[in-house]
Amino acid sequence: MRVPYKVEASGENARRETTKLLRRFGCESVGFTDDFARREVVLAFTHRGQSILLRASAKGWAQMYLKENPWTQRRRKSRVEYERDALQQGHIAVNSVLRDWIKGQITPIECGVLSFEAVFLPYMLSADGHPKRTGAGDGPVAGAQKSESRLFARASMIDRSWRIRKNSHLPHLLGQRPRRRRPRIVFLRPRRQAAALAKRLDQPARCRGATSPAPP
């Protein structure tokens, strides 16, 4: 798999393009922050009084790069230096990730396919600066998430009940009584049939009361 944005030399161009996109969209303020402690690039902007906060992990990009291009002894750098360079490139690459992310989110809003709340609801901030809690009346995204979680819970319950019913040694978990096996009934042949069968096979009958054939 090709790792995207691995040849980016600087993230300043991507930040300028992102700011230009958001300003054209009607945002009042746009700002980038480098969180070196969490290895993230934070994008914060305000649209019609609503604050939005997006985070892009440089560590996640570096892990993807190291997975596709692992360190070997043929490298001219040590393992520590190679991983440090991958993390530095991740701090540059995530700026392009945020630019394409914003472009992909704004386009359906401008086309009227989705609303602003349906797209950016998970990233909205409340008045005190904390993420909003999605409830029943927070919008279509929250309702869809709740209905989806209910469907998954229902599916897991059905799968669990099917597995329990499949295992007949666990009927008490479903409140059912264990089924008793019916005794196997074996029908014995009558004595006459046993004697006739013995004559045909020229073998002495082993049943009680049957006469053995006379010797020649």
Domain limits, the chain? 12-132, 135-172
CA-CA distances (angstroms) from residue 8 to 63, 89, 195? 17, 8, 97
Mean per-residue pLDDT over the chain, rounded: 76
Instruction: Report pLDDT for 24.
Output: 93
pLDDT band at 18 (very low <50, low <70, confident <90, very high): very high
Please tell me the distance from the alpha carbon of residue 71 to that of residue 81, in angstroms, as a whole number.
10
Which structure tokens are listed for 37?
């402690």
pLDDT exceeds cutoff 60 at 175 = no
**Are 14 and 99 within 8 A, CB to CB?**
yes
Nearest to 92 by CA among 177, 6, 216: 6
pLDDT, tens digit, 9 for 90 and up, residues 104-134: 999 999 999 999 998 998 899 987 777 875 5
| pTM: predicted TM-score of the whole model, two decimal places | 0.58
pLDDT band at 178 (very low <50, low <70, confident <90, very high): low
How far apart, in whole angstroms, are the C-alpha atoms of residue 53 and residue 102?
12
